[in-house]
């Protein structure tokens, strides 16, 4: 299914994407900022915040309250700070965070890690709360009402966002996710920008005073005054404050696009058609060519005379062009009004000295920081070291006949065949015996085990889709396309071989060995995990990770190597002659480590295969300190 734009007329001057959550303009949202500000009342007004206020709450409640009434057309005015509504607000707030976790933290692009970390369960719980607010019966009722209005020619000239969906869409589930998507996008962007604007104003009292004076001149003496569009347009300095806030820390960290045709960048560089690219807004917005002293907070950058000197694409917090954010004007109007009213009533201060002191929502998660990854690697590396090679050779010669038997059958049939997965089944059998300490050799070429292997492969394919196609970094999209069901096969596979009771028993057993100083000198990979790790979920994740690495890389590299050898007969002949010299006349000859070390040319063939087509297309790393590239 190709998610392209369709005509909806009344919703926007540009075409509207069939699914908001699959447009690249909201693929990645910046993480929430945790900080507190002091709100001191101006004049005789009472400080209802009573001391330090948790700023993100303010933005999200403002956004949700306005959204419910304007875009969703809920008839009753909702106070998201009262009754059961904070629970509803919290559900939308947490839902927006969880849905975009894979785009913020790369490790959660693996759906297995995303699930094992508890986010899948939390998302299901959040979805229950959401569906209580936007139930299927409610959507069906609204669809019937608005389709009748359309059929009878009773549609108003101006139709709210949700009512357009009820009129034009036919699938209740799709409408539900559309509504959830617009809520998530609206709440998160409004919240993060207002949070950062208040922090910058707290750090720059002169700028805050200028914005306050403008707000006072527009609002007058009564904070409850109803501001018109013309009034809001007069908040030009407040608008510049918001724009400068979005320049320094964009509400969207990056934009993702799929290249529709070969794109010539000049100087011999071409981006091929169908390539997924990411546009780093933070880097663009800090380009000193367009924004001198880019780390300084200077709202005057957005005076008309300064904007006119810049390239129109130098600053694009809402993206630009036909796929820009359809809620751009709505968001700016909402944020200007909210910020002006807050500044009119409160003076904001903060004890934070530097912007670098901000803590992000991504920081508490369980990635290995500092030297933790080194310690983990030190613990686990012996399980894959040279000391384990003799056991590997034993397992290799145990499982090789299973592979050769299948290849013999293929050769008897004749013709071409796809070797994909043959080497993966072989590698999985070896992995279970060498790394997982399995008591009985497993032949994954046998029918029942072959079906289980397919569960693993299909589930892994689904789990890694977010890393291959950016649109699937959003769990909603991932599940909508059926990858959630595919991933469940992987979960089932892991439960067959590594159920929680089995892992707990193994962990108790090996921790007992350690306690009694009875650990062997050489320990297999899984036994090191059972000894040193304390949580079954993390052990499962580690076992899956190493199994995927062993199976998928072996399968892909050997397939590519065979294709290359089939294309280059002379190279194949050289590799064959070397194999004959080392193996000798007896095909069943058991090779030693020294024999394998003699296979120099074959090693070069494998290395060249990995150079031509890498088993891992990219590596991701986090730079721990400033890195000078010269």
* Binding-site entries: 325
Q: Which residues pair with 270 in a beta bridge?
A: 264
- The beta strands (E) that lie in 240-368 are given as 254-258, 263-266, 269-271, 276-280, 346-349, 359-360
Instruction: Please say whether the beta carbons of 546 and 609 come within 8 A.
Output: no
Q: Which residues pair with 257 in a beta bridge?
A: 277
Neighbours of 263 (CB within 10 A): 13
- Collapsing DSSP states into helix, strand and coil, what is residue 418? coil
- The beta strands (E) that lie in 232-275 are given as 254-258, 263-266, 269-271
Instruction: Please say whether the beta carbons of 17 and 23 come within 8 A.
Output: yes
Helix axes 85-99, 55-70, angle to 10 degrees: 100
Distance CA 287, CA 293 (A): 9
Q: Which residues pair with 254 in a beta bridge?
A: 28, 280
Distance CA 422, CA 206 (A): 69
* Short-list 344, 38, 58, CA closest to 209: 344
Q: Which two tokens stand for residue 349?
A: 């201060």
Q: Which residues pair with 53 in a beta bridge?
A: 37
Phi, psi of 600 (to 5 degrees): -70, -45
Buried residues in 107-144 as b, exposed as e (16+ CB within 10 A): ebbbbbbbbbbebbeebeebbebbeebbeeeebeebbe
Instruction: Please say whether the beta carbons of 516 and 535 come within 8 A.
Output: no
Distance CA 351, CA 129 (A): 37
How many angstroms separate the most distant Cα atoms in the chain? 100
- Sign of the C-alpha dihedral, residues 441, 444, 450, 455? positive
Q: Which two tokens stand for residue 130?
A: 């959401």
Distance CA 275, CA 13 (A): 28
Q: Which residues are annotated as a binding site for heme?
A: 325
């Amino acid at each position: 299914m190709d998610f392209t734009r369709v005509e909806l007329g009344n919703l926007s001057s540009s075409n509207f994407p069939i699914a908001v959550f699959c447009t690249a303009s909201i693929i990645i949202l910046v993480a929430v900022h945790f900080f507190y500000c002091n709100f001191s009342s101006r004049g005789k007004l009472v400080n209802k915040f009573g001391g330090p206020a948790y700023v993100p709450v303010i933005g999200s409640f403002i956004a949700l309250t306005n959204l419910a009434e304007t875009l969703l057309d809920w008839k009753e005015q909702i106070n998201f700070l009262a009754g059961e509504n904070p629970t509803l607000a919290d559900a939308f707030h947490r839902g927006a965070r969880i849905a975009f976790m894979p785009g913020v933290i790369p490790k959660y692009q693996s759906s297995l890690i995303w699930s094992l970390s508890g986010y899948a369960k939390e998302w299901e719980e959040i979805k229950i709360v959401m569906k209580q607010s936007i139930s299927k019966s409610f959507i069906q009722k609204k669809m019937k009402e608005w389709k009748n209005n359309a059929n009878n020619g009773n549609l108003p000239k101006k139709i709210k966002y949700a009512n357009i969906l009820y009129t034009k869409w036919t699938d209740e589930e799709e409408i539900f996710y559309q509504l959830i998507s617009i809520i998530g996008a609206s709440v998160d962007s409004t919240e993060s920008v207002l949070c950062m604007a208040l922090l910058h104003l707290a750090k720059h009292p002169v700028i805050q005073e200028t914005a306050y004076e403008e707000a006072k001149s527009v609002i007058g003496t009564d904070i409850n005054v109803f501001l018109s569009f013309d009034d809001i347009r007069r908040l030009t300095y407040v608008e510049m404050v918001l724009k400068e806030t979005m320049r320094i820390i964009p509400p969207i960290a990056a934009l993702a696009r799929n290249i529709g045709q070969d794109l010539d960048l000049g100087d011999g560089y071409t981006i091929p058609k169908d390539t997924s690219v990411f546009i780093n807004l933070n880097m663009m917005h800090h380009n000193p060519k367009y924004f001198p002293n880019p780390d300084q907070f200077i709202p005057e950058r957005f005076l008309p005379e300064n904007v006119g000197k810049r390239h129109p694409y130098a600053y694009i917090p809402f993206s630009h062009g036909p796929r820009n954010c359809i809620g751009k004007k709505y968001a700016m109007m909402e944020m200007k009004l909210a910020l002006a009213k807050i500044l009119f009533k409160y003076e904001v201060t903060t004890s934070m000295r530097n912007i670098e002191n901000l803590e992000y929502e991504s920081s508490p998660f369980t990635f290995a920081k500092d030297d933790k990854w080194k310690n983990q690697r030190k613990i686990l590396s012996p399980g894959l070291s040279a000391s384990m090679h003799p056991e590997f050779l034993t397992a290799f010669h145990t499982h090789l006949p299973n592979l050769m038997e299948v290849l013999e059958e293929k050769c008897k049939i004749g013709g071409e065949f796809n070797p994909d997965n043959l080497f993966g089944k072989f590698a999985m059998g070896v992995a279970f015996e060498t790394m997982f300490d399995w008591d009985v050799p497993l032949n994954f070429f046998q029918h029942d085990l072959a079906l289980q292997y397919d569960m693993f492969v299909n589930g892994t394919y689904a789990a890694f889709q977010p890393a291959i196609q950016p649109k699937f970094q959003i769990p909603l999209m991932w599940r909508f396309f059926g990858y959630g069901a595919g991933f469940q096969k992987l979960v089932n596979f892991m439960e067959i071989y590594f159920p929680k009771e089995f892992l707990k028993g193994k962990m108790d057993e090996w921790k007992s060995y350690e306690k009694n100083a009875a650990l062997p000198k050489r320990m297999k990979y899984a036994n090191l995990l059972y000894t040193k790790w304390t949580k079954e979920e993390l052990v499962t994740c580690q076992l899956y990770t190493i199994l995927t690495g062993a199976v998928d890389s072996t399968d892909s590299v050997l397939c590519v190597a065979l294709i290359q050898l089939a294309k280059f007969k002379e190279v194949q002949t050289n590799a064959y002659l070397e194999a004959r010299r080392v193996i000798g006349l007896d095909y069943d000859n058991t090779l030693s480590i020294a024999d394998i070390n003699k296979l120099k040319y074959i090693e070069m063939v494998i290395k060249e295969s990995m150079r031509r087509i890498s088993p891992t297309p990219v590596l991701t790393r986090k730079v721990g300190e400033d890195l000078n590239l010269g």
